Amino acid sequence: MEKIVITGMGTVNPIGLSVAESWQNVVNGVSGVGKITLFDTTGWNVDIACELKGFDPANYMDAKEARRRDRYEQMGVAAAKEAIEQSGLEITDANRARIGVVVSSAIGGMKSIQDAIYILKDEGPRRVSPFLIPMLMPNGASGLIGIDYGLKGPSFSVASACASGADGIGMAWMMLRAGIIDAAVTGGAEATICETGVGAFDRIGAMSRRNDDYAMTPAPFDKNRDGLVMGEGAGVLVLERENSAKARGATILAELAGYASTADAYHVTAPDSNGAGGAAAICAALETAGVNLDEVGYVNAHGTGTPLNDAAETKALKGAFGELAYKVPVSSTKSMTGHMMGATGALEAIFCTQIVREGILPPTIHYQTPDPECDLDYIPNQAREQKVEVAISNAFGFGGHNAVLVIRKWK
């Protein structure tokens, strides 16, 4: 089976507006948490989030066009621009039908929907924007990237909650392996830091409320963790079939060696506490990659910082790796970026690519008090230099969706 390789990466996220900036900050343990500025949180239970800082969509697209795009779409287009430029992929009439786009979103244009409801209620239906539908639809980022670059291969979005970005990358990987396309622009984008997003996630008890002590949250795997901190942003990869990439002289960054997806079939928001679904996804992904358990040198955990998720994921790792679980370094980069919902799996795939290239493992910051239920090596607070041949990235979502990507060092 022909290998699928990564030739380009791009991101905008709470700790960087490029891959280089994000990588420097994640290995240095820089937190993206701060007070919410996108709306007035007076009287709210939660007034912290991981917002993008200094993001100007006009740096990536025409300013008029940007106004017709939801914030999540702007982010997706920005990340795709960096990824395509790094890949050096030349798009021509001869190949554009062989390039697919799968940039996913769990929710789509939540802020656009929210604002339209206010307008509809206060001013009536004639004041609703004619651009509302393309701004709210979860496939909007994929469609706009395809339009901007004239990409005519398969184009769609996957919605599997917080596994959306990873599942989208997995779908692109499968199309490439099947020979349906030669290249794909794939990842995830999400922008849910608005009144509706923050209010709804707080109501289900998922959010950290450490507003006055936000320098120490989120705290994945820590005994005193109290919930996730919402993030926003996008991550995009360019994937290619090995022979196509080599034929055009592309710089290959890493191999996307495996992918698998499972379902807990347990609860619409809570993970199955035994971690069996996550363990099954890990084992299946490694099988597709032809990788043995003892070859895995790092796990980028889903690691949201919620009490249920972190305990269940620890059990999933033990279920998959057995005693080896205590020897495999694990960290949650969400401790710095926050939880970017449908985009999070894509950004974490980028970090795993950098890990196998650079041999540096990002830390889990805010880790202070060990939890007997979470007793693995979480790389607390300081990055670690360690060569890694194979890294895996876990993305587990509401609905019981479990997606795992396997990234292997390119030789």
The whole-number mean pLDDT for each consecutive block of 10 residues of the chain, a chain of 411 residues, reads: 96 98 98 98 97 97 94 98 98 97 97 95 93 96 98 98 98 98 98 97 96 96 98 98 96 98 94 95 98 98 97 98 98 98 98 98 98 98 98 96 98 88
Q: Which long-range contacts (CB under 8 A, 24 or more apart) does 147-151 make?
A: 148/61, 148/77, 148/80, 149/80, 149/84, 149/91, 149/185, 150/91, 150/96, 151/91, 151/96, 151/99, 151/100, 151/101, 151/185
Beta-ladder partners of 331: 300
User: Nearest-CA neighbor of 190 among 395, 29, 365, 34?
Assistant: 395
Q: CA–CA separation, 280 vs 319, rounded Å?
A: 8
The pair of three-digit structure tokens given for residue 67, joined into one six-digit string: 């106004």
Structural element, H or E, at residue 402: strand 401-408
- DSSP for 348-370, written as a single string: HHHHHHHHHHH-EEPPBTT--SB
CATH architecture of the domain 4-247 equals 3-Layer(aba) Sandwich (3.40)
- DSSP for 21-40, written as a single string: HHHHHHHTT----EE--SS-
The pair of three-digit structure tokens given for residue 18, joined into one six-digit string: 């490029």
The pair of three-digit structure tokens given for residue 343, joined into one six-digit string: 């985009």
Size (the chain), residues? 411
Burial class, 106, CB count within 10 angstroms (exposed 0-12 / middle 13-18 / buried 19+): buried
Q: What is the CATH number of domain 261-408?
A: 3.40.47.10
Pairing between β-strand 360-361 and β-strand 384-385 as defined by DSSP bridges:
antiparallel
Q: Please tell me the predicted confidence (pLDDT) of residue 118.
A: 94
Asked if 347 and 244 touch (Cβ cutoff 8 Å), the reply is no
On the question of a common fold for 4-247 and 261-408, the answer reads yes
**Domain extent listing, the chain:** 4-247, 261-408
Residues with a known catalytic role: 162, 302, 339
Q: Is the peptide bond before 138 cis (omega within 30 degrees of 0)?
A: no
- Where are the strands (E) in 194-288, listed by range? 233-241, 254-263
Other Cβ atoms within 10 Å of 130 Cβ, number = 7
Q: Give the 3-state secondary structure of residue 107.
A: coil
Burial class, 226, CB count within 10 angstroms (exposed 0-12 / middle 13-18 / buried 19+): middle
Q: What are phi and psi of 172, to 5 degrees?
A: -60, -40
Task: For residue 130, give the DSSP letter.
Answer: T
In this structure, which amino acid lies at residue 159? A
Q: Please tell me the predicted confidence (pLDDT) of residue 1.
A: 85
Q: Dihedral, CA atoms, 255, 159, 148, 187, nearest 10 degrees?
A: -20
Query: Any idea what the Cα angle at residue 391 is, between residues 388 and 394, rounded to 5°?
Result: 155
Q: Please tell me the predicted confidence (pLDDT) of residue 120.
A: 92
Q: Please tell me the predicted confidence (pLDDT) of residue 362.
A: 98
Q: CA–CA separation, 111 vs 336, rounded Å?
A: 24
- Residue where the block lists tokens 């939540």: 110
Q: Which residues of 172-194 are buried (b: 16+ CB within 10 A; e: fewer)?
A: bbebbbeeebbbbbbbbbbbbbb
Q: Please tell me the predicted confidence (pLDDT) of residue 400.
A: 95
Beta-ladder partners of 16: 13
